[in-house]
Amino acid sequence: MTRESSLKHMDYSKQSIELHLKSRGKIEIRSKVSIKTKDDLSLAYTPGVAAVCTEISLDKQKSYTLTNRANQVAIVSDGTAILGLGDLGPEAAMPVMEGKAIIFKEFADIDAIPLCINSTDVEEIIQFCKMIEPSFAGINLEDISAPRCFEIFERLEKELSIPVFHDDQDGTAIVTMAAIINACRITGKKIGDLTVIINGAGAAGIAIARLLIHAQVKEVMLVDTQGALYEGRPGMNSIKQGIAAISNKAKHQGDLQSSMVGADVFVGVSIGNIVTPAMVEGMNSSPFIFAMANPEPEIMPDLAYKAGASVVGTGRSDLPNQVNNALVFPGLFKGLFLSGIKKVTPEIKMAVATSIAYSIEPTRDNLMPTAFNKDVVRNIVDVISKTGLEGSLAEDELELESLVSALLD
């Protein structure tokens, strides 16, 4: 990190603490109806509300039309994987979850409630989500460490009647896919020709690898603290074993530096300051570098460009080309709520990624749309609306699918 960017980061930290102290957090609840008179109170509360309760008891689906449920998301976290900071606990997760809540509201007009819970037990978290289901139209899992997050998500996706989305997994995967699509648009490279190295084999890294494999990249290799994942490597949990079986076809064994040799794309979703200019120089010509560790990228953009990178993105909002899942979850949940779709399939993920990418005409210094680009949410909602209730793309309606195909050819 350069001295200038380091000082800027320090300034953001200080000012953020001052902001949170001044406003005592970032969210509040406001009433949709006026309560100025006794009649107002009688309509909004007792005795009038009893009739509303009776209506819902006769048809539970009316909770979507007679309460705020249809526009309400639960953001559930146990605080075990906060940003790039690790396990800081549920109390420390609240500032992040409040931040997500205001992003939901600002960009998609969705009411999101942070629920940071005092348990790291898989069964307890699953049971908690099942118990709160009647109050929400969807659940956004956040900052839950791997490998527990995979089982929690997969179980809830099957056992709940409302959509469940783990933003650290698929939100990150979708926005990374969008960044790669636009990098290909800028450079003329094809997705099907790319060899991608992912540093970090947690929730985000594995989800990114799965989506890239679905997109038919030439090769994907994940690297953790023990080196490259390959089929048969000892000491891996079941989730890593599963992804190792379908990636790293050459069964390369080695550290991050050796794994990056000859690669076309680097994706970092682990720790900062781990990539050197020499490692970038060892990649194929004009590689894509997505150094998304927070708050410190794996390598700063200026160093990556000097080492020969053609496109560089980070997870930081104060640096060019931010690759951040804030582009995904507001529009995704809006689209799910309006369409009635309950499950986000790989086809939907690819369509959403492509809709994000094509929200702008990218350049090297303007790779991704910002969260303030109103086309992003509109495009995501539109592409989800053009899917069936089973989440399969309607090929005769979806032009974006042909754009993906063109990138693969």
Tell me how far CA of residue 264 lies from CA of 151, 248, 277, 290, 390, in angstroms.
32, 14, 15, 11, 35
Handedness of CA 66, 67, 71, 74 (dihedral sign): negative
Cβ–Cβ contacts within 10 Å for residue 56, how many?
17
- Backbone angles phi and psi of 288, in degrees to 5: -95, 135
Is it true that the peptide bond before 134 is cis, omega within 30 degrees of 0?
no
Residues forming the annotated binding site for a divalent metal cation?
142-143, 168
Catalytic residue among 14, 22, 36, 45: 45
Tell me how far CA of residue 176 lies from CA of 98, 205, 327, in angstroms.
23, 10, 11
Q: 3-state class of 17 per DSSP?
A: helix
Beta-sheet pairing, 311-314 with 288-291:
parallel
Q: Which residue has the tokens 């590689």?
A: 287
Q: Which helix (H) or strand (E) holds 21?
A: helix 3-23
Residues forming the annotated binding site?
142-143, 168, 294, 324
Q: 3-state class of 363 per DSSP?
A: strand
Check if 100 is active-site: yes
Q: Are 108 and 331 in contact (CB under 8 A)?
A: yes
Q: How far apart are CA 314 and CA 272, in angstroms?
A: 11
Helices (runs of H) and strands (runs of E) counted in the chain = 17, 10
Q: How far apart are CA 369 and CA 376, in angstroms?
A: 7
Q: What is the distance, to the nearest Å, from the Cα of residue 160 to the centroid of all Cα atoms in its chain?
A: 20
Side chain identity, residue 125: I
88: left (phi over 0), alpha (psi -120 to 50) or beta: alpha
Q: Which residues pair with 227 in a beta bridge?
A: 224
Tell me how far CA of residue 287 lies from CA of 5, 30, 95, 194, 220, in angstroms.
23, 48, 35, 10, 15
Q: Which residue has the tokens 């290909």?
A: 184
Catalytic residue among 12, 14, 100, 358: 100
Residues annotated as part of the active site: 45, 100
